[in-house]
Structure formats: structure tokens, C-alpha cells
Amino acid sequence: MSGDGELRAGGSGPGSATPGVYAASGRGIRLRGLRIDGPAGALVRGLDLDVAPGECVAIVGESGTGKSLSARALLGLVPRGLSTRVDALEIDGVDASGLGERQWRALRGRRIALVSQDALVSLDPLRRVGAEVAEAIRIHEPAVRGEALSARVRASLKRVALPEPEERARRYPHELSGGQRQRALIASALAARPAVLVADEPTTALDATVQAHVLALLRRIADDGVAVVFISHDLAAVARVADRVVVMHEGRVVETGPTAQVLAAPHDPQTRTLVEAVSHRPLGRAPRTDAPLIAVEGLRKSFGRRVAVDDVSLEVRRGRTLAVVGESGSGKTTLARLLVGVDDPDAGSLRFDGRPWSSRVARGAARTRVQLVQQNPWGALDPRWTIGRTLAEAVAAGGVARPARRAAVAALLEEVGLSPAFVRRRPAQLSGGQRQRVAIARALAVSPDLLVLDEPVSALDASVRARILDRLLALQAERDLAMVFVTHDLDVVAGIADDVIVMKDGRVVDSGTVSCVFADPRHPFTRELLAAAGLGPARA
């Protein structure tokens, strides 16, 4: 494509994927020699891809390797400013190598559909779920109307196992849970019965049990005869759902083959790095006996009739990390906001460094002692400011004199593994992992005693996630930081935390050291979480 939705046949560069799985009937996907170029050079370099009906093929790799760009090229959705060339592209038997935008619109939804990462953004907030699902049918099958259309919508919602499909069809996206929204988005993509489904990070930021349900749904969709392209940074998810895996690095395919074979015995160094990045060993650090830095007793917080945090007690000492895990809606983020001092509890007590802690106390100099790192650094960083200006403001808030701020900013960047050259860049010029490092650097600028991290690595690929976790552990050792790590990813917990609490419906149902809770979970919900994540025992 030349940025206007058109693919151009011709391209150069041999592909690296192994052909031969493509169905002889011409259905599914057959791609040869995909090349995507940007102003600074090639972003995707000669990708070949075959996906047969009933097969799921995963594309994995670090951020910036070109996997999402490649997925969007399959739908003619490469961003403007980039040029795309292919030797061949067939989608469900249709030659798509030279299509214009009008022809692509006829193909999208009917022959090939996309499920993206953020369902809340992808679904129209002003339109009911049923209308969203019906749109593709209205466009591609205008003869289907009235009760027949309603029946198709209900069938699509039922196909993705959305409970009470008639009731959910009348709701708006914000009235559904994260897992329900993602299922509704998949139902919308499948409504016009496409032969190919491209799922781009569809389980990112979902908790373990919901993720397991969505992955099972994708596998069932493939088993029903749909060709599924699964883009993911989560190798555990890939192992569950994909028949074959394609590993990309710097725009090239570096390894491909059956999923179990590639993950068990990777040949390429980049594949080995990705596999090793998801293998975390428990920390095994000696317990601290000093007074807790933060102590919480009987904490309770309600929003209307909904109790978000119910009788929660915990302690965190300097140099230690407490992980807070649970499903979406279990109260994890509300607890984090109470610890930071953004919100106040309805009942219970918080003590920080031996003194009462509340939103009234957490002001001025006291505010700098507890810092929050949010899940989405894109929303947390001002897109108009350079990284240098963002960090300079933070070090100024920490009391650094103007002449010393430039050196302080450079030191912060070095601490999180970024070069001083990043001061001139803006957030849009950074990868997801780089933005998250800047967010961590900003939080460290005021030399906090406690760092509260709310899902800080959920959207990052395995190797970038591993580097950030390693950096956090190093910073913790250097500064004797206490950390509260809110996450849905139990695999991460093993590599970053000393202790863990498991929350369900606002209450703590399990707690203890990570090794003890993972080896001998006491509550059935903890066992369910561990089983969904493929960790620990799965007892009835």
C-alpha cells in the first residue's frame, strides 16, 4: 500500500516462512513477499504467510518488529506514510494484491475481519452492542433485516458464549466487563461469517481466567473452520491456541514451525530470548524484620452499593514487593488508589512510616514519598512535551535546583536503561516499553519510598517486560524501595514479588509468600487463577 489502502504487486526479498500448509481450495490466506517501508527504511522485509481454514497461526516478536503492521496489511489498513508491496496476497481465494480502498471495504468483514486489542476503544461507546454486531451484516448482507437480523445478532453473541445474549445486545460497551466487551468485539468481527480472523493482541490486559476463556473461544473459532492469525507477545497464550508460530525480529521472520516444537527447542537466538523471558524464578529473598513502611488494617471502600474493597489488611516493608492479583473488578486498582492517597477509605486505617495516611496528609512533600506508575504510559505522558521537559518538571518537584536538573534527567534515563538522547523525543516517538520506562523514571524523580505499580507491564512483549522487571529489581536494591505491584499476570508475580495477596470481590481470599501461595493455594479461587495461568496445582 502506498498509504492510501492500495497494495502493489511486485515487491522484493525472499520470504522466510515455510509454505505448504495453504489449502488447495484457495481459501484461508496466502501471502508472499510482504514489504512495508517507512521514511527511515524497511519495517517488514519479505514476509511469507500461509494460514489454512481451521488453523491458527501466531505471529510473535518484540514491540516494533512489524507483527501488527503485517496483520493490518492483510486488511489493507497500513497507516498513511508507509508504502507496501507484495508478490502475492490471496484472501479466501480472492486476489487482494492490487485492491483499492473501495474494493478493500467490500472484502473487510465479509472475507477477513479484525479483532483488536482494546475493545473499549474499538466498540462505539454511543451504540448498543447489538447495533455494533449488526453493522457488518447490514453492510454485506443488506437483504437480512428485521427479525432475521436480530436472530443473526443473537446467534453471533451466543457463538462467542456471551451470557444472556439478548440482554447484552441492549447494553452499551461501558456496561460490560472487559472480558464481555472482548467477546462482543469478536462477535462483531464474526457476524458476516468471514473466512479469516485476524486477532491482534486480543487478550492483553485481561486477567488469567478471562484470558483463558477468550483463548478457548479463539481455538474453537479455528476448529469451526476459520483461518485465524493470532498476534501476541504472550508466549503462554500462543502455546495454548496456535498450531504454528512465526517469530519476527526487526521486520524479518527468524523462525517458524509447529508451536510446541519452536517453544520447546528454539533455534534462533531471538526466539530463545523470548522463551527465556517468560521463565521467572522465585526471588527467595530473606524476610525483613524492620517496621512496615505501610500498614493497612480493615480497609473498606464502596461506590454506591458496590463494595470495591472489603476488610483488606496488609503490610509492606522497605526493600520488599507485595503483589496484588485478582480478576478485573476485584478491587485491585481501588486498593492501589487508597495506598497512594488519591482516595480515602470509608473505614479502616492506613499508616505510612508510622503515621496516619490519607488524601489530606498526602500533599506537598509527603506526596513525593509515594508514587504511582499507571498501566497506560501513553495516557500518563503529555504528548506535546518532550521527554526532557516531562522529567525536568518531575525533578523540579523533587527539589532539584535548576542548574542541576539537566544532569538529574540524564541520570534518571540512565537508571531505567535509556540514553540521554531521549530528552529530545516525544511519547509518540517511543515504543511501549520505552514509554513505560519514562513513566517509571518520572516516578523515581522525587526519590519515593514506596512505588505503587498498576499493571505496568501488561501490554509489553515478553523480552521488554523482562528487562523492565529486571530494572525494577535493580532499582529496588539500589534505593531500598518498597513496591506494591498490581497485576493480573501470575507469571510476572513469581519474578518480581516476595509476597502476594489474592483478591476476589473486594476481599483478600489468599495471602502469603509467593512460593507458599503458588505451591499450596488455600482458596478455590486461587487454584482457579493458577490453573488458568498454567501455574501451580489445579485441585478441585
Domain for residue 508, yes or no? yes
> Of 142, 166, 193, which residue is a domain's last?
193
> Of 193, 215, 245, which residue is a domain's last?
193
Q: What is the mean pLDDT of each run of 10 residues along the chain (540 residues)?
A: 48 36 57 91 93 96 85 90 93 92 92 82 89 93 92 91 88 84 90 93 77 88 95 87 95 95 93 80 82 96 92 96 88 92 94 93 86 77 92 91 93 87 89 81 90 82 77 89 89 89 94 92 90 60
Q: Does one domain contain both 183 and 313?
A: no
Q: What pLDDT is stored for residue 485 in this prediction? A: 94
Domain for residue 279, yes or no? no
DSSP string, 298-321: EEEEEETTEEEEEEEEEEE-TT-E
Average pLDDT of every residue of the chain: 86
Q: What pLDDT is stored for residue 362 in this prediction? A: 87
User: Which of 6, 25, 191, 207 has the alpha carbon at shortest distance from 114?
Assistant: 191
Q: How far apart are CA 123 and CA 125, in angstroms?
A: 6
Instruction: Detail the DSSP E strand segments found in 139-243.
Output: 196-200, 227-231
Q: What's the full length of the chain, in residues?
A: 540
Q: Does one domain contain both 179 and 320?
A: no
Q: How far apart are CA 49 and CA 69, in angstroms?
A: 14
How many structural domains comprise the chain? Answer: 2
Q: Does one domain contain both 331 and 463?
A: yes
Domain for residue 401, yes or no? yes
User: In which element (H, E) is residue 506 found?
Assistant: none
> Where in the sequence is the domain holding 501, given as residue range(s)?
307-532
Domain for residue 94, yes or no? no
Domain for residue 89, yes or no? no
Kindly report, residue by residue over 290-333, the tens digit of the pLDDT.
999 999 999 999 998 889 999 999 999 999 999 999 887 788 98
User: Which pTM was predicted?
Assistant: 0.74
What is the domain-level CATH number for residue 347?
3.40.50.300
Q: Which residue has the cell 488494617?
A: 297
Q: Does one domain contain both 184 and 320?
A: no
Q: How far apart are CA 498 and CA 494, in angstroms?
A: 8
Q: How far apart are CA 514 and CA 86, in angstroms?
A: 49
Domain for residue 510, yes or no? yes
Q: Does one domain contain both 361 and 500?
A: yes
Domain for residue 226, yes or no? no
Q: Which residue has the cell 486488511?
A: 75
Alpha helices in 349-429 (DSSP H): 377-380, 387-397, 405-415
CB 372 within 8 A of CB 452: yes
Kindly report, residue by residue over 241-257, the tens digit of the pLDDT.
999 999 999 999 999 99
Distance from the Cα of residue 45 to its chain's centroid? 25
Domain for residue 200, yes or no? no
Region class of 303: left (phi > 0), else alpha (psi between -120 and 50), else beta: beta
Q: Which residue has the cell 540512565?
A: 414
Residue 294 CB partners (closer than 8 Å, separation 6+): 315, 316, 339, 350, 351, 352, 353, 357, 370, 450, 482
Largest CA distance in the chain: 73
Could you tell me the strand order of the sheet in which 294-303 lies?
Answer: 306-316, 294-303, 347-352, 355-356
> Of 177, 193, 209, which residue is a domain's last?
193
Amino acid (1-letter code) at residue 422: F
